[in-house]
């Protein structure tokens, strides 16, 4: 069985459209529209021809960037100097650090930030927490699997951290 996927992205009236051509053996199918529409259609199609994929989707966690962006709205803004946490929020050090690192994760994925990591100094500045507080909290977050050390003095959120921070956001927003 041969799989072939061709992806074209083109602009139409200033809007970006995606066109996908998929070949599985002798079967050929085309999808066209926004990236979200094409992705959803492609997943539905593949789920129909391979039902086990739907089962796998039920147990696999993949961060949904669009959903995360929607959920952090009002809590975090992304600027070229890093994520900005809403100053009116009263957050624990753990929650503030996770939210800041999630902001860095989102910022790098959308191309606004060049990296998805933050230093202790940046975390302190962005969260409003003392450097000592941040330094004391990071080992607990690392041990819990929410954060990992990316390089000397730089930290990033893990997939588990993204998932847990999504839950924190729901609590903060009362969703």
Domains of the chain: 3-59 (3.30.160), 65-173 (1.10.10.10)
The answer to whether the beta carbons of residues 133 and 92 sit under 8 Å apart is no
Which three-class secondary structure state does DSSP give residue 145?
A: coil
pLDDT < 70: residue spans in the chain:
1-16, 51-57
79 Ramachandran zone, left/alpha/beta (phi>0; psi -120 to 50): beta
Residues 6 or more apart whose Cβ sits within 8 Å of residue 12: none
How far, rounded to the nearest angstrom, does the alpha carbon of residue 76 sit from its chain's CA centroid?
13
In the sheet that 15-24 helps form, which strands lie side by side, from edge to edge?
3-12, 15-24, 27-33
DSSP H or E run through 88:
none
pLDDT at 16: 62
DSSP H or E run through 153:
none
pLDDT at 12: 46
pLDDT at 11: 47
pLDDT at 143: 95
Distance CA 101, CA 134 (A): 12
């Amino acid at each position: 069985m041969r799989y072939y996927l061709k992806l074209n992205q083109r602009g139409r009236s200033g809007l970006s459209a995606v066109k996908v051509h998929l070949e599985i053996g002798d079967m050929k199918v085309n999808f066209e529209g926004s990236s979200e529409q094409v992705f959803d259609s492609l997943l539905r199609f593949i789920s129909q021809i391979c039902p086990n994929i739907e089962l796998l989707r039920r147990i696999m966690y993949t961060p949904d960037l669009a959903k995360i962006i929607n959920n952090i709205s009002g809590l975090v803004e992304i600027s070229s100097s890093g994520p900005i946490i809403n100053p009116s929020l009263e957050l624990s050090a753990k929650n503030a650090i996770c939210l800041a690192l999630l902001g860095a994760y989102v910022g790098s994925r959308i191309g606004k930030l060049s990296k998805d990591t933050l230093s202790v100094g940046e975390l302190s500045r962005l969260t409003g927490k003392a450097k000592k507080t941040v330094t004391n909290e990071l080992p607990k977050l690392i041990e819990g699997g929410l954060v990992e050390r990316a390089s000397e003095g730089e930290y990033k959120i893990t997939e588990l951290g993204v998932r847990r921070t999504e839950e924190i956001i729901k609590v903060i927003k009362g969703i």
